[in-house]
Amino acid sequence: MEDRQLGRIRFVCGENGGRYPFNHSLFIEGDDARVIIDPASDLEKLKGLQKKDGVDLVWLSHWHEDHIHYLHLFEECPKWISARDFPPLTDIEIFLDWSGFEEVGQRDLWKKYMYDKFNYQPLQKVRFIEDNEKIDLGNIKVEAIATPGHTPGHLCFFFPGEEIIFLGDYDLTPFGPWYGDVFSSIEETIKSIARLKTISAKTWITCHETGIFEENPGDLWQNYENIIYEREDRLLDFLGEPLSLKEIAAAWLIYGKPRKPLYFFEFAERALVKKHLDYLVSQGRIACEKDIYSRL
């Protein structure tokens, strides 16, 4: 996969094919401002952009660590993000709270990882991007599309003149959507997918893996959404008898098998399973009594 210039929009391919802990970034060359979106793609490429092209603004589609990886390179640039996603970027303890890390050892380990791996630096001042805000950068216009679910303030960016949409972490990967944070939502994820399906574009750009789709994703959208229901079905099938969250998470219904680093994937498995359990309880399809879940 290579970088691509799409008029005034440059696709900056991330390390390791844009797989976590990296992503694909977008560079917008407006007459009035040059913008980098989600600076977590490739250290040397981003350094080159800053030195050769210049970057005036940094936009974030959301607050996750794999989207702020190299934010420190643009220390002097104003940062723009949805107000709903700003709190975790103001304090590492809030970041850990929103991520769902509760155990002391787990928090300490992830805190070190955030500082050492992701160069976490708290932000004190940003400019909030409003839902559906239209922004003119000079000969290129952008619409900020509110797509909560993955995070409360996740934004996609649509370029109507170019008919290009940047989907952020609605990435159409075979793994499916992530909604495992404390304030993530399965219901809102489904609604956001439905909204994104309706937007007419010619090019779809995601933050991870494939990156650029130059044909309508079509069935890929439904496949992506169906992964939510497939996870749900596996969970309901597994609940043949009352079980605890620990017992359910140990079955690896989401990831299929244990993966390394184990501490990370055990946490992720548990987080996604818990979201599904809470969602199914809210729908009256399963019951929870004294932390034991049973199918109704």
Q: Both 171 and 272 in a single domain?
A: no
Q: Which domain holds residue 164?
A: 4-217
Residue 234 in any domain: the answer is no
Question: Tens digits of per-residue pLDDT, 75-119?
Answer: 999 999 999 999 999 999 999 999 999 999 999 999 999 999 999
pLDDT for the residue numbered 64? 98
Residue 229 in any domain: the answer is no
CA–CA gap between residue 201 and residue 162 (Å, rounded): 8
User: What is the pLDDT averaged over residues 271-278?
Assistant: 98
Residue 233 in any domain: the answer is no
Q: What is the DSSP letter of 93?
A: H
| Mean pLDDT rounded to a whole number for the chain | 97
| β-strands 203-205, 292-295 pairing | unpaired
CATH number of the domain residue 9 falls in:
3.60.15.10
Number of domain units in the chain: 2
Q: Assign residue 28 a region (left: φ > 0; alpha: ψ between -120 and 50; beta: otherwise).
A: beta
Res 1 pLDDT > 90: no
Question: Tens digits of per-residue pLDDT, 237-251?
Answer: 999 999 999 999 999
Record the pTM. 0.96
CA–CA gap between residue 10 and residue 244 (Å, rounded): 48
Q: Both 264 and 118 in a single domain?
A: no
pLDDT for the residue numbered 169? 98
Q: Both 205 and 87 in a single domain?
A: yes
